[in-house]
Amino acid sequence: PRVIFSGIQPTGVPHLGNYLGAMQQWVKLQNEASANTSLIYSVVDLHAITVYQDPNALRTSKREMLAALLAVGLDPQKCTIFYQSDVPAHSELMWILSCSASMGYLSRMTQWKSKLDLDENANPLDSSTKTKLKLGLFSYPVLQAADILIHRATHVPVGHDQSQHLEFARECAAGFNHLAGDKLLVQPETLLSPAKRVMALDKPTNKMSKSALNPKSRILITDSSSTISKKLRVALTDSIEGVTYDPSSRPGVSNLIEIAFNLDGSNHGAASPAEYAKDFEGLSLKALKNKVAEVVDDHLMPIRSKFEEIIGGDGKILQEAAQIGAEKARKSAESTMQLVRHAVGF
Ligand code: TYM
């Protein structure tokens, strides 16, 4: 059997990086799934609290993220969609895995360093690092490994920034299996999306992210037509004439082409961003931005109205989806946990 698992942090309404790097693939995998495939997607609220969250704001963000997952086309009947904290076994497996996970490996991982604005060589035991670094942020990848391994996932669709975490998850599975003496946990494969790295609009050498200070650096999947146009109009490009696809010398222009290609390329019969760009060769950059705005808006319009409908409703749709999801996810997690508990001697 094929088990697809992935997670997303409840950061409120997702941006185009989340959408193209992950959610769009999740829907595609759902729509192409055969009978022996199960799909499990989690809103990872336990991960969210590795940095302080205002409790009421977190509750709102969770609901918005769940509504966004439904709005992009995930179907709670076809997938298991759940809040991570509704399945306590994720935390239980995390503890068990952390008893064999390597501190050395975790200390080389880059995400906690970037969250604390530390350089690549920062060491968790240095006195200046130690006080800032919380244990939960440091061990974040162990919880992520538990998410994946507890459902015996075979494939994990993510953007490029999660590659390192997935390698760690495979390492955790191997480490545990080594002790448990058999192939109890499954080592998952990484499924990178075609749009594995969507860049920030104002700084196309950085990835588009929720935490960047400038709200014009990202397009949210519920942005209005006029907001989309405005953000694209001021997107950083260059002063070279005409449209060409060349990510290293023209990161800004190439990012816009990639965004449009990944939303609309198939309608053009284009197989790559470079081929897609040929259709726009003669355009000015201003005209390219208008074109991209149109493509983005056309694609997001139905998602935005579905989102508004769900979030503006009485909350029943979300409550029900979360409840069915939690039940299915608990069952799936429990079957692995019985083996794991036995293997460690409980
Ligand atoms: P998160 O919430 O930061 O992002 C969710 C998904 O969006 C992708 N993504 C991007 N893809 C392309 N370009 C971008 N600019 C961009 N920004 C975000 C991410 O790669 C991700 O696929 N640690 C994870 C959540 C997680 C998880 C898991 C993922 C927890 N447990 C188990 C997979 C499996 C995270 O913070 O993703």
Please report the pLDDT score of residue 326 as a whole number.
98
Question: For 67-77, what is each residue's pLDDT tens digit?
Answer: 999 999 999 99
Please report the pLDDT score of residue 6 as a whole number.
98
Please report the pLDDT score of residue 181 as a whole number.
79
**Residue 221 Cα, ligand 1 centroid: separation in angstroms?**
16
Q: Domain boundaries in the chain?
A: 2-198+314-344, 222-310
Catalytic residue, candidates 210, 216, 230, 306: 210
30: burial class by Cβ within 10 Å (0-12, 13-18, 19+)? middle
How many C-beta atoms surround the C-beta of residue 114 within 10 A? 15
Q: What is the CA radius of gyration of the chain?
A: 21
- Which CATH superfamily, name and number, covers 2-198+314-344? HUPs (3.40.50.620)
Confirm whether 134 is a catalytic residue.
no
- 46 Cβ below 6 A of ligand 1: no
- 188 Cβ below 6 A of ligand 1: no
- Determine the atom of ligand 1 nearest the C-alpha atom of 196: 12
- 6 Cβ below 6 A of ligand 1: yes
Q: Distance between CA atoms of 220 and 223, rounded to whole angstroms?
A: 5
How many C-beta atoms surround the C-beta of residue 119 within 10 A? 7
Question: For 228-238, what is each residue's pLDDT tens digit?
Answer: 999 999 999 99
- Determine the atom of ligand 1 nearest the C-alpha atom of 162: 20
Please report the pLDDT score of residue 79 as a whole number.
98
Nearest CA residue ID for atom 14, ligand 1: 17
- 22 Cβ below 6 A of ligand 1: yes
Interhelix angle for 140-150 vs 89-98, to 10°?
120
Q: Distance between CA atoms of 205 and 286, rounded to whole angstroms?
A: 20
Confidence (pTM): 0.97
Please report the pLDDT score of residue 265 as a whole number.
77
Please report the pLDDT score of residue 183 as a whole number.
87
Task: Going residue by residue through the chain, which has 346 residues, state the pLDDT in tens, using 9 for 90 and above.
Answer: 999 999 999 998 999 999 999 999 999 999 999 999 999 999 999 999 999 999 999 999 999 999 999 999 999 999 999 999 999 999 999 999 999 999 999 999 988 988 888 888 889 989 888 888 999 999 999 999 999 999 999 999 999 999 999 999 999 999 999 999 788 999 999 999 999 999 999 999 999 999 999 999 999 999 999 999 999 999 999 999 999 999 999 999 999 999 999 999 778 889 999 999 999 999 999 999 999 999 999 999 999 999 999 999 999 999 999 999 999 999 999 999 999 999 999 9
Please report the pLDDT score of residue 328 as a whole number.
98
CATH of the structural domain 222-310, one choice from 1.10.287.70, 1.10.10.10, 1.10.240.10, 3.40.50.300: 1.10.240.10
Burial 241-257 (b: 16+ CB within 10 A, else e): eebbbebeebbbbbbbb
**Residue 208 Cα, ligand 1 centroid: separation in angstroms?**
11
Confirm whether 210 is a catalytic residue.
yes
- Determine the atom of ligand 1 nearest the C-alpha atom of 9: 2
**Residue 157 Cα, ligand 1 centroid: separation in angstroms?**
9
